[in-house]
Amino acid sequence: MADTDTPADAGTEFDYDLFVIGAGSGGVRASRIAAAHGARVAVAEEYRVGGTCVIRGCVPKKMLVYGAMFAEELGHPENYGWTIEGKTFDWPTLRDFVKKDVDRLEGLYGNTLANNKVEVFAERATIAGPNAVKLASGREVTAGKILVATGCWPAMPDFPGVEHCITSNEMFHLAEQPRRLMVVGGGYIAMEFAGVFNALGSEVTLVNRTDRILRSYDEQIVDRMLAIAMGRGIQMRMHSLIQSVEKDADGCLHVDLGETDKVVVDQVLIAIGRQPNTAGLGLENAGIQPGPKGEIPVDEYNRTTCESIFAVGDVTDRVQLTPVAIREGHAFADTQFGNKPRTVDYSSIPSAVFSQPPIAGVGLTEKQAREQYGAVKVYSSDFRPMKNIFSPHAERGLYKMIVEETSEKILGIHMIGPEAPEILQVAAVALKAGLTKQAFDDTVALHPSMAEELVLLR
């Protein structure tokens, strides 16, 4: 059973009942809820309140995706009856609009902490002991409980010239749009940025060390997305590794992929994954041994091997998703300060890749379902969305539902097509509720819509 000492039980021998290191989504939620339960809370953030998602991740990236979607629509305005003369794209305008909204959101996060009387230290903090935190200013404070919510940081490979490459952190601050962009990686970050800058007019080359991308998604859906991406002009260089990068006097990058000719680009984005942000955190001062990837091992109640120190979010390397970090932070605060012990259910978590077009999925992929259940049924709809009729790209959507053979209980739902993530969110509720395909069959279609394909699967 989790230790659920309230602030009153913990006494007042410490400066704070809770000290949170990291003001990202998980840390802010934990701070707010703990304070609402009556705890004396402080949080330290060395960069900006809001963390990866708000400052340099999913929020600004989704705004760039919207910009890319508009670019796609603007590519064929005549089919909508519009004549637009002199249309041009200005990267600094989009970049600065996104940065302005990030500033707005950071302010809202700061207001949330202030309104809940959470003290914020705008500096780096490290663990000095089981109940002690040292701030970059040199001050040391004590807390009954310490929560680590420092998230992840982009991983970088080791090759000559890697210092000329950038990560997703820097993509939002580019002085100018790269005319030629190389993206290295096969995960969602790589595919999203490749799609954005391809739509905005950059020549994009994607380099991956294997022939598989987006490994956690259904293979058939991914194959469809790859075909569409190549049809839109993204060059795929599979089974390739960068050997070196050289920068010439004009600022161009010459990338050696181990082949005869080097690839010349203006920017190289490294997007090969993210690693827990624990370097120099002082875990050893509390007897905590990080895992092989640098992650902080925790139990189901987010407690580390040190009974007074906890961790939530990406730094634990359980599920690297913002909504998961938020739930973990909330569950931690309720458990430790609200006398409401609870854990997070990690099953059937929906996720999406905001590629061009986007893909989304929840539950088991077809391959996973066959491995776990043996006999399964797959229902699908392969169709051309009405919206795509206006486009010169003959792109088709694909929806899949995987069910257990006998009961037809839904095991997984996977989609590619316009607005797929928006549609999947509701479908994920059905899977989580344990519904069968019959529940979809019994539902009248909403016509004409892409979502209706979910109740017309055959």
Annotated binding-site members for FAD: 62, 314
- Determine the Cα–Cα distance for residues 283 and 133; give it in Å rounded to an integer: 11
Phi, psi of 159 (to 5 degrees): -155, 155
- Determine the Cα–Cα distance for residues 216 and 188; give it in Å rounded to an integer: 10
Annotated binding-site members for NAD(+): 185-192, 273
Enter the DSSP assignment of 262: P
Beta strands in 13-151 (DSSP E): 16-21, 41-44, 119-121, 125-129, 132-135, 140-148
Q: Are 301 and 2 in contact (CB under 8 A)?
A: yes
Long-range contacts of 263-267 (CB under 8 A, 24+ apart): 263/182, 263/205, 264/180, 265/178, 265/180, 265/181, 265/182, 265/205, 266/178, 266/179, 266/180, 266/181, 267/166, 267/174, 267/178, 267/180, 267/181, 267/182
Annotated binding-site members: 62, 185-192, 273, 314
Residue 205, sorted as left (phi over 0), alpha (psi -120 to 50) or beta, turns out to be beta
Please say if 447 is a catalytic residue: yes
**Other C-beta atoms lying within 10 Å of the C-beta of residue 401:** 24
Catalytic site positions: 447
